Structure 1
Amino acid sequence: MRRLLTGAAVLALAACVDGTPGDLSGFGDRATTITDTANRDYYPDDQHIVSAKLQFKQENYGKAASLFKQALEVAPTDPEALLGYAAANDMLARFDQSDLAYRQLKPIIGNTVVFHNNYGYSLLLRGNLQGARQHFLAAYEMAPDNPHVANNLELLRNSVNYQRRAKGDLQGI
């Protein structure tokens, strides 16, 4: 009786299979129905960064920040996307968002000219001239011939020469 039931089960399962038993894929259908995707292109993850850089150069900082954020959704630890996101938010005075990006960026690129120069510029925009000076000097020590660092040091020097004014101080003009 037991052999009869086993034989009936084997025959029932064999009737369910189209083609030969060697023609099965891992999903139960035929192996010929599986499409080979080896010739497909990768996802163009740099598309967002290219568009964001263009928007940043055209001074569309809101669009740039949005596109850099989309790039970060594709690759959350991409240093270029993090730097761009931080810089765009700096230009929008969204320092809370840029601080998050700089915190994520520090362990990735850490003690580099690009990090110190960008973070120093962020501090300069906030009015933290002492902090900006520390970062600009750190960048200058690493790359004394870098024109971006030299320009930022000049901006810092010019910022020290101008008086700080309270909000609303120039409303009568």
Structure 2
Amino acid sequence: MEMTIGESGRSVLGRPGGERRTTELAMAIVAAVLLSSCQTSEVLSGAEFDPTSALMSSGDVSKSDLDQGKLQFMNGNYGLAEKHFRKAVELRQDNAEALMGLAACYDRLGRFDLADRAYSQLLKVAGRQPRIVNNMGYSHYLRGEKAKARKLLLEARAALPGDEMIEANLALLDRS
């Protein structure tokens, strides 16, 4: 194959035997595919959907991403977990569990600015719950902000006395 300039001034890929394909032909095919997909979506936009279909069966479109986020987080794949938790939040903005996972991922990735945003959104959705406050305390521990971490962890302990995770985080803070 050889590349030459065709009559239109565009690159032409030549094959032995005289066959030529132009970039214009490729672009026309791509444009046709894109236009046909637009028409399909316009046709489907007025369609009625069967509530028993596989897409609607769970009732929560964000559940699959939430489950994948949890799995990736447990395996220490915080970047992949973040992707799934973020997608779950995009699909359902009031998903407190996905917001908690997203904030925890940002903590593990050292993106505390994004963690703070996720915690802020989580507090608006779920209120100031002890487990959320615990995670916020751990976040500040990771940043090296021990006084802020202690204040939040003690608040969580007061609201949920004897909780193992809160006690473990306080012990971790005491050892540091």
Q: Is the structural similarity TM-score above 0.5?
A: yes
CA distance in 2 between partners of 1:50 and 1:127 (Å):
31
Q: How far did 1:36 drift?
A: 6.5
State the distance in 2 between where 1:145 and 1:103 align. Answer: 26
Residue correspondences, number: 126
Identity level (%)? 37
Structure 1 spans left out of the alignment, 5+ residues? 1-33, 160-173
Identify the range of structure 1 (61-70 vs 107-116) with the bigger mean alpha-carbon deviation.
107-116
- The answer for the alignment partner of 2:172 in structure 1 is 155
For residue 144 of structure 1, the aligned residue among 161, 171, 174 is 161
Q: Which residue of 1 aligns with 2:65?
A: 48
Alpha-carbon shift at residue 117 of structure 1 (Å):
0.4
Q: Cα 1:70–1:158, aligned 2, differ >3 Å: closer, same or farther?
A: same
**Pair 35,115 (structure 1): closer, same or farther in 2 beyond 3 Å:** closer
Partner of 1:107: 124
Residue 35 of structure 1 and its aligned partner are, at CA, apart by 6.1
Give me the whole-angstrom Cα distance separating, in 1, the residues matched to 2:69 and 2:86.
Answer: 9
The CA deviation at 1:127 is 0.7
Find the aligned partners of 2:88 and 2:164 in 1 and give their Cα distance.
28
Which residue in 2 is equivalent to 1:4? Answer: none
Q: Give 1:111 shift.
A: 2.0
TM normalised by structure 1 equals 0.69
TM-superposed CA distance for 1:116, in Å, is 0.7
RMSD over aligned CA atoms reads 1.5
TM-score by length of 2: 0.67
CA drift of 1:77 comes to: 2.0
Aligned to 2:102: 85
1:46-99 deviation per Cα after TM superposition (whole angstroms, max 9, x unaligned) = 000101100000000010011111111100121111100000010000111111
137-146 or 35-44: which moved more? 35-44
Cα gap change, 1:37 to 1:141, in 2 (>3 Å): same
**CA separation of 1:81/1:38 partners in 2, compared to 1, >3 Å: closer, same or farther?**
closer
* Cα contact 2:61–2:91 (8 A) shared by 1: no
Q: Which runs of 5+ in 2 are unaligned?
A: 1-46
